[in-house]
Amino acid sequence: MSRRVDILIFPQFQLLDAAGPISVFEHASRDLGSATYRVRVIARHAGAVASSSGIEMIAAGFADSPVDTLLVAGGLGTRESAACDQTLAFVRNAAVHAGRIASVCSGAFILAAAGLLDGRRAATHWARASELARAYPRVKVEPDSIFVRDRNIWTSAGITAGIDLALALVAEDHGESVAKRVAQQLVVHYRRPGGQSQFSALLDLGHPEGRFTALLGWAREHLDEKLPVERLADRAAMSPRNFARAFTAETGATPAKAIERLRLEAARIHVEHGREPIDRVAFATGFSDPERMRRAFIRAFGQPPQALRRAARAP
């Protein structure tokens, strides 16, 4: 059975917010040997729509025909689109009929303006998470998540997180094995769980000019030890108070949150790719208690370590 996916764009949209998910659905259809996903780009006005890079996509106009999934791109133009009555009316109407509504990056602002995120958990790019929370206080913003699913509404963080979200949609439709093969074709990691920290993802990119990069690298090598803020501050040659303030200002996370995230990421790698017992992983990554690690996994990834291990080993 084919599924209709509409990608909503607008002037000054972020090109990869649309192109990334489109490529995921394209390769899923190729893998399954049929037009499994019928993808269409739509906009308020049909025709060429310029992205923030100047590159254009050709869009169809809004239509009332139902879709299985409506995915809203993000980008510089979201502020204007979130104030467009015609766009918001279309999104609200689509939500009545579509099986799923999704957004990438700041596309969450359009869903929020349409009232679709009221009372729901949601994600957006870390740099705009506080803005989303202030502008729409009824939205339960999760500033650290790669993507969030709340019933039939999915929201994701910046740009490449849209690929993670699209892979999750494919996995829901056709199983983990299909989504894994698509990720392999795209040469991307399969697949960052929705609860993975945006902060950790930023660390993985590496910022050699960052004030605390060397400290975080050292912490990664000592996760099995106690790493209170006092020890980290001493390592940085700062007072605990000044260190905590400066660290949070630069990274967007408190020192305690950062260490927990580093532990979670290290533990996740051991769980998914190693064979050590779960309790041994907990001690090796500094959780000291398997139950404590289990609770942290559920908070961050939405499932316990055993479930992630089973998913990673699925054919």
Q: Pick the catalytic residue: 28, 59, 105, 264?
A: 105
Distance of CA 147 to the CA centre of its chain: 3
CB 290 within 8 A of CB 302: no
Q: Annotated catalytic, 84?
A: no
Which positions ≥6 away from 13 have C-beta within 8 Å? 49, 51, 52, 73, 74, 75, 76, 77
C-alpha atoms less than 13 angstroms from C-alpha of 312 in its C-beta half-sphere: 18
Helical H segments across the chain, by residue range: 15-32, 78-81, 85-97, 108-113, 129-135, 161-174, 176-186, 198-205, 213-220, 229-235, 240-251, 255-273, 278-284, 290-301, 305-312
What pairing do the DSSP bridges indicate for beta strands 121-122 and 140-141?
Answer: parallel
End-to-end CA gap in the chain: 23
**Active-site residue list:** 105
